[in-house]
Amino acid sequence: MKIKLEYVWLDGYEPEPNLRSKIKVLEVPLEGETSVSPMHWARNNFSKIPDWNFDGSSTRQAEGKLSDCILKPVRAYPDPLKGGFSFFVLCEVLNSDYSPHVSNVRSKMESEDSSMWFGFEQEYVFRWFNKGKSLPVGFENFDPPEEQGKYYCSVGHPYSAGREISEQHLEACLACGINITGTNAEVMLGQWEYQIFGRGEKTAADDLWMSRFLLIRIAESYKIKVDLHPKPMGDSNWNGSGMHTNFSTYKMRETGGKEYFDSICEELSKSHQMAISLYGSDNHLRLTGNHETQSIHKFSWGVSDRGASIRIPVSTSQTWKGYLEDRRPGSNADPYKITSYLSSVLNKIEQD
């Protein structure tokens, strides 16, 4: 039986990589497995998915005189867009000698800890393009748009714009096994958010990258761009876009204690500048101290404080067990870097 494999990888562009993909049609003997679901097949036949080469000189990952790079499959997802025995294959990038490419952040991660839980709140903006002009979707219905206030979780035209893409994305994530937990319209017109939950540093980040890929592919069919810039409307009074990251360890969930949570926040404060360097480019345009952010130059934490670097949810403060929300990451941040950083800080506390 012929199956379709769409290999997905991150290119070498800086400061943030772009997603790339190409399709391989592969003949695989299913040996009576045609009655099983694609999800089941992907989980039990991953080893049948081969490595594949690509032209790294066209993705800023190699020079023309030695252009071959290798795609190493790391996760497979049933493809909800094509259906049947079609799969998205998330890959790491290797050099031609099979060593990890310098752009391969995932390969530098330690073996993951499934007791580390992460919840990403991915904000983004839908944009349309026409003859060199670009605006968030929905802006075309106003002259000019009303100030923000009516757009958050809005219902109905013209305050809600892009819902059909958001909900199609929700269904696609569910269909391919990504643990998406919700979606909503955000504060800015044309701005949306969805949430991804994952156990383990690599697994959570893999699912976030694949959810971005799905969103971009679905929006492509509408001729809409997914804008992940942290301040999509530049120097304006419109909200920016972040990727708030909720996190917890087993000890945070089961043992807790106010002193323990204070020690986590204090440890995070010591490496604030390092975190900022990992949390996405142009994030200074968003982290101004306004629009539900703390200044990029300060670090703070507080219960139910959306103007803090770290928000302590009310539910956590009631028992001092639960999770924390890091509100610093920008919408374009690399989730591999986020989970690696947070895990390293929390491991340091455990060792101390």
Q: Under a CB-based contact definition with an 8 Å cutoff, are residues 126 and 225 in contact?
A: yes
The confidence score (pLDDT) of residue 111 equals: 79
Residues of the chain with CATH 3.10.20.70: 2-108
The confidence score (pLDDT) of residue 30 equals: 67
Domain 2-108 has CATH 3.10.20.70: yes
The confidence score (pLDDT) of residue 271 equals: 97
Per CATH, the number for 117-351 is 3.30.590.10
Predicted model pTM: 0.96
Give residue 124's Cα distance to chain centre. 10
The confidence score (pLDDT) of residue 33 equals: 62
| CA–CA separation, 4 and 78 (whole Å) | 10
| CA–CA separation, 61 and 101 (whole Å) | 8
Helix 258-270, helix 335-351: angle, nearest 10: 120
Amino acid in position 349: I
| Residues comprising the chain, all counted | 352
Helix 201-221, helix 163-175: angle, nearest 10: 130
Give, rounded to a whole angstrom, the gap between the first and last alpha carbons of the chain.
55
> What's the half-sphere exposure (Cβ side, CA atoms, 13 Å) at 184?
10
The confidence score (pLDDT) of residue 34 equals: 61
Instruction: Encode the chain (352 residues) as per-residue pLDDT tens digits.
Output: 889 999 999 999 999 999 999 999 998 876 666 667 888 888 888 988 999 999 999 999 999 888 999 999 999 999 999 998 899 999 999 999 999 999 999 999 987 999 999 999 999 999 998 888 899 999 999 999 999 999 999 999 999 999 999 999 999 999 999 999 999 999 999 999 999 999 999 999 999 999 999 999 999 999 999 999 999 998 889 999 999 999 999 999 999 999 999 999 999 999 999 999 999 999 999 999 999 999 999 999 999 999 999 999 999 999 999 999 999 999 999 999 999 999 999 998 887 6
Residues of the chain with CATH 3.30.590.10: 117-351
| CA–CA separation, 76 and 90 (whole Å) | 6
Cβ count near 129 (within 10 Å): 11
